[in-house]
Amino acid sequence: MAQCGHILTMTTDDAPSLAPVGLGPFDEEVYRALLTCVDATPAALAERLGQPEGRVDSACGRLRSLGLVIRMSGRRRRYTAVDPEAALEALVRERAGELDHVRGSALALSSIFHAARRQAGDGSTIELLNGPEEQGRWFVRLQHQVRSEMMVLDRPPYVLAAVNPVEPVRLDSGVHWRAIYAPEALEIPGAMDEIDDLTRRGEQGRVLPGLPLKLAIADRRIALLPLSMELGHAQGLVIRESTLLDALVELFEVYWARATPLGSSSGGAADEAPDHDRELVRLLAAGLTDNAIARQLGLSTRTMRRRTRQLFDQLEAANRFQAGIQAARRGWL
């Protein structure tokens, strides 16, 4: 029998916010209420909090997916909190792992910073490019020169036309091509169709929100690094084999590990999901805006948002981050 009527006299109101470990305000309110109960049904919690039962039930599902509460046995849904010392520690460790990735990026950027100062002025290693046209010519040149591996950080604005006629030819010749896209790159009309075609030809594409720079590395031997996002005052560097180039390769690998793969998973053990749900999850994980996703799916923004809410309910997720985690666990990504 639910014992939410036996409320402890102590309160959780003065405890620090749990937002840093991924809890939204309402989920945290439900969690704190459940901490003061031995166990409770969503109906009992809803009555206590003055909220709709369905909303509380969804919050309990999300708390369960985070490992903060467990569902009791029996036909009626009843929940009890896991000892916060253990449950919250697990979430803290998970977030610490994510921050370690950021720390790795900082170390790689620091290597670039110091290597550039050690090697500045060495014309055999670094060549300065002036103007967008010169950078555009060099990007085409790199694509023609590459023999085995191309690594690209792709984000607007672009010097050349959006459609790249060289990459498909090099993919067909067997070049291993990895590209990390900023979400803004995927919002350009026709971009997803082009990327789908490149994927069929062999490109491995991923997306990373907040991608701060553009970069192209050919065969880990030569790189093109634009120094500004302003095309009118564009300068760039051609960087040949050096510790600076090694640092740029390492930076690419750090971003690659953090980026979300584009395309559907082929794992046979994955939970079944309709194709339209997989596509919606993929676009949400890519960081596209609601309007951009609606355009891509051929829906109105209102319909797209309704489908997103339904998908969040299905995945027991409160936001895009949690939806991405749950979708990945089910093999949808």
Q: DSSP states of 68-126 as a string?
A: SEEEPSSSS--EEE--HHHHHHHHHHHHHHHHHHHHHHHHHHHHHHHHHHHHTT-TTTE
Contact 319, 255 (CB under 8 A): no
| Secondary structure element (H or E) that encloses residue 129, with its range | strand 126-130
At residue 192 the predicted structure's pLDDT band, cuts being 50, 70 and 90, is: confident
How confident is the model at residue 264, as a pLDDT? 42
Q: Which two tokens stand for residue 302?
A: 């209102």
Please choose, from the candidates 11, 13, 74, the residue with its C-alpha nearest in 3D space to the C-alpha of residue 39.
Answer: 74
Contact 29, 49 (CB under 8 A): yes
Q: Which two tokens stand for residue 273?
A: 């999901």
CA 185 remoteness from chain centre: 14
- Rounding to the nearest 10 degrees, give the CA dihedral for residues 272, 274, 275, 276: -140
At residue 2 the predicted structure's pLDDT band, cuts being 50, 70 and 90, is: very low
Contact 14, 56 (CB under 8 A): no
Q: Which of 35-49, 139-153, 179-193, 258-272 has the highest mean pLDDT?
A: 139-153
CA 219 remoteness from chain centre: 26
**Please, which residues have CB within 8 angstroms of residue 18's CB and are 6 or more apart in sequence?**
28, 31, 88
Percentage with pLDDT > 70 across the chain: 83
Report the pLDDT averaged over residues 87-103: 79
Range with the poorest average pLDDT among 61-70, 130-139, 167-176, 254-263 = 254-263
At residue 42 the predicted structure's pLDDT band, cuts being 50, 70 and 90, is: very high
How confident is the model at residue 44, as a pLDDT? 92
Terminal Cα distance for the chain, rounded: 40
Identity of the amino acid at 198: L
Contact 242, 115 (CB under 8 A): yes
CA separation for the pair 181, 248 (Å, rounded) = 16
DSSP letter (8 states) at residue 40: B
Beta strands 215-218; 149-154: pairing state: antiparallel
Range with the poorest average pLDDT among 64-73, 191-200, 262-271, 293-302 = 262-271
CA separation for the pair 107, 113 (Å, rounded) = 10
How confident is the model at residue 177, as a pLDDT? 96
Q: How far is CA 172 from CA 90, 146, 175, in A?
A: 46, 13, 7
Report field, pTM of the whole predicted structure over 0.75: no
- Domains in the chain, please, with CATH? 19-82 (1.10.10.10), 96-261 (3.30.870.10), 263-329 (1.10.10.10)
At residue 94 the predicted structure's pLDDT band, cuts being 50, 70 and 90, is: confident
Report the pLDDT averaged over residues 110-121: 63
